[in-house]
Amino acid sequence: MRYLMTTKPSDTAPDEKLYAEMGRFIEELTAAGVLLATGGLEPGGIRVTSAGDEITVTDGPFAEAKEAVAGFALIEVRSQEEAIELARRFRRIVGDGESVVQQVFGP
Amino acid sequence: MIVPVLPDVHRTVDAAWKLESAKIVASLTRMVRDVGLAEELAQDALVAALEQWPVSGVPDNPGAWLTTTAKRRALDHLRRAQRLERKQEQLAHELGQRQERQQGPDARPDDEPDDVLRLVFLSCHPVLPTEARAALTLRLLGGLTAEEIARAFLVTETVITQRVAAAKRTLAEESVPFELPDGDHLAERLSSVLEVIYLIFNEGYSATSGDDLMRPGLCLEALRLGRLLAELAPREPEVHGLVALMEIQASRAAARTGPSGEPVPLHEQNRGRWDQLLIRRGFTAMLKAREVGGAPGPYMLQAAIAVCHAQARSAEDTDWAQIAALYAALTRVLPTPVVRLNRAVAVGKAHGPQAGLDLTDALLTDPVLRDYHLLPGVRGDLLAGLGRFDEARVEFRRAASLARNAAERAFLERRADELGAAAPAGPVLGQAAEEFLGRDDLDPATSRSYGQTLRRLRRTLGDQQPLASLTAEQVARVFTTTWGEAAPATWNRHRAAVRSFGAWASLDDLTAGLDRRAGTRPRARPLDPAQLDAVWSLPDLPLREETLWRLLHESGAGATAVLALDVEDLDLDDRRARTRIRTPASVRPRDGRVTWRSGTARLLPLLLAGRTRGPVFLSDRRPGPARTPEAADLCPDTGRRRLSYERAEYLFKQATRPLDPARDGYTLHRLKPAPGDR
Q: ipTM for the complex? A: 0.78
Spatial strand order in the sheet of B593-595: B570-571, B576-578, B593-595
Distance CA B555, CA A80 (A): 78
Q: Cβ neighbours of residue B628 under 8 Å, at least 6 residues apart? A: none
Confidence of residue B593 (pLDDT cuts 50, 70, 90): confident
**Which long-range contacts (C-beta less than 8 Å, at least 24 apart) are formed by B525-531?**
B525/B670, B526/B670, B526/B671, B526/B672, B526/B673, B526/B674, B526/B675, B526/B677, B527/B666, B527/B670, B527/B671, B527/B674, B528/B674, B529/B674, B529/B677, B531/B659, B531/B666
Residues of chain A positioned with their CB less than 8 A from the CB of B113: 31
Residues of chain B positioned with their CB less than 8 A from the CB of A84: 5, 7, 12, 15
The pLDDT assigned to B523 comes to 58
Residue B128 has pLDDT above 90, yes or no: yes
- Residue-wise DSSP of B341-359: HHHHHHHHHHH-HHHHHHH
The pLDDT assigned to B585 comes to 46
Q: How far is A77 from chain B (nearest CA, A)?
A: 8
Q: What's the mean pLDDT in A68-97?
A: 87
Could you read off the pLDDT of B158-215 as tens digits, one per residue?
999 999 999 999 999 988 899 888 877 888 899 999 999 998 898 888 655 555 655 7
A-B contacts at Cβ under 8 angstroms: 66
Nearest CA in chain B to A101: B5
Q: Do B273 and A82 touch (CB under 8 A)?
A: no
Cβ B118 vs Cβ B26: under 8 Å: yes
The pLDDT assigned to B118 comes to 92
User: Could you tell me if A102 lies within 8 Å of chain B, comparing CB atoms?
Assistant: no
Q: What is the CA radius of gyration of chain B?
A: 36
Residue B572 burial (10 A CB sphere; 0-12, 13-18, 19+) = middle
Nearest to A32 among B11, B224, B277 (CB): B224
Residue B226 has pLDDT above 90, yes or no: yes
Distance CA B164, CA B162 (A): 5
User: Could you tell me if A17 lies within 8 Å of chain B, comparing CB atoms?
Assistant: no
SS3 call for A69: coil
Domain holding A93: CATH number? 3.30.70.1060
Q: Cβ neighbours of residue B325 under 8 Å, at least 6 residues apart? A: none
Please give the share of chain B, as a percent, with pLDDT higher than 90.
30
Find the range with the poorest average confidence among B235-244, B300-309, B546-555.
B546-555
Q: What's the mean pLDDT in B354-373?
A: 88
Compute φ and ψ for B239, nearest 5 degrees.
Answer: -65, -45
Residue B582 has pLDDT above 70, yes or no: no
In this structure, the number of other CB atoms found within 10 A of the CB of residue B362 comes to 11
**CA geometry: angle B116, B118, B122, nearest 5 deg:** 115
Nearest CA in chain A to B230: A31
Cβ B463 vs Cβ B422: under 8 Å: no
Could you read off the pLDDT of B4-58 as tens digits, one per residue?
666 688 888 888 898 889 999 999 999 888 999 999 999 999 999 999 988 888 8
Residues of chain A positioned with their CB less than 8 A from the CB of B281: 36
Using alpha carbons, select from B354, B423, B352 the residue that is nearest to residue B390. Answer: B423
Confidence of residue B78 (pLDDT cuts 50, 70, 90): confident
Indicate the angle between helix axes B183-205 and B146-153, nearest 10 degrees: 70
Average pLDDT, chain B: 84
Q: What DSSP character marks residue A73?
A: E
Residues of chain B positioned with their CB less than 8 A from the CB of A101: none
User: Could you tell me if A101 lies within 8 Å of chain B, comparing CB atoms?
Assistant: no
Distance CA B261, CA B267 (A): 17
Q: How many residues does chain B have?
A: 678
Chain A interface disruption, residue of B2, B215, B227, B288, most A CBs within 10 A: B227
The pLDDT assigned to B44 comes to 92
Residue B86 has pLDDT above 70, yes or no: no
Residue B101 has pLDDT above 60, yes or no: no
More confident residue, B98 or B125: B125
The pLDDT assigned to B340 comes to 93
Distance CA B490, CA B80 (A): 62
The pLDDT assigned to A32 comes to 85
Cβ B233 vs Cβ B275: under 8 Å: no
Distance CA B385, CA B401 (A): 22
Compute φ and ψ for B277, nearest 5 degrees.
Answer: -60, -45
Q: Where are the domains of chain B?
A: 9-111, 117-127+172-350, 376-504, 529-671
Q: What's the mean pLDDT in B305-327?
A: 92
Could you read off the pLDDT of B472-523 as tens digits, one per residue?
888 888 888 888 777 888 888 888 888 888 887 877 678 887 888 765 445 5
Question: What range does the domain containing A23 cover?
Answer: 2-104
Looking at the DSSP bridge assignments, the partners of residue A6 are A72, A100
Cβ A32 vs Cβ B19: under 8 Å: yes
User: Could you tell me if A16 lies within 8 Å of chain B, comparing CB atoms?
Assistant: no
For the domain made up of B117-127+172-350, give the CATH fold.
Answer: 1.25.40
Cβ B136 vs Cβ B123: under 8 Å: yes
Domain count, chain A: 1
CB burial readout B332-359, b (16+ within 10 A) else e? eeeeebebbbbbbbbbbbbeebeebbeb
Could you read off the pLDDT of B429-463 as tens digits, one per residue?
888 888 888 877 777 778 888 888 888 888 888 88
Residues of chain A positioned with their CB less than 8 A from the CB of B66: none
Nearest to A78 among B12, B220, B274 (CB): B220
The pLDDT assigned to B158 comes to 93
User: Could you tell me if A33 lies within 8 Å of chain B, comparing CB atoms?
Assistant: yes
Q: Cβ neighbours of residue B367 under 8 Å, at least 6 residues apart? A: B481, B482, B484
User: Could you tell me if A18 lies within 8 Å of chain B, comparing CB atoms?
Assistant: no
The pLDDT assigned to B152 comes to 78
Handedness of CA B46, B51, B54, B55 (dihedral sign): negative
Q: Do A85 and B15 touch (CB under 8 A)?
A: yes
Give me the half-sphere count of Cα atoms (radius 13 Å) on the Cβ side of residue A76.
Answer: 23
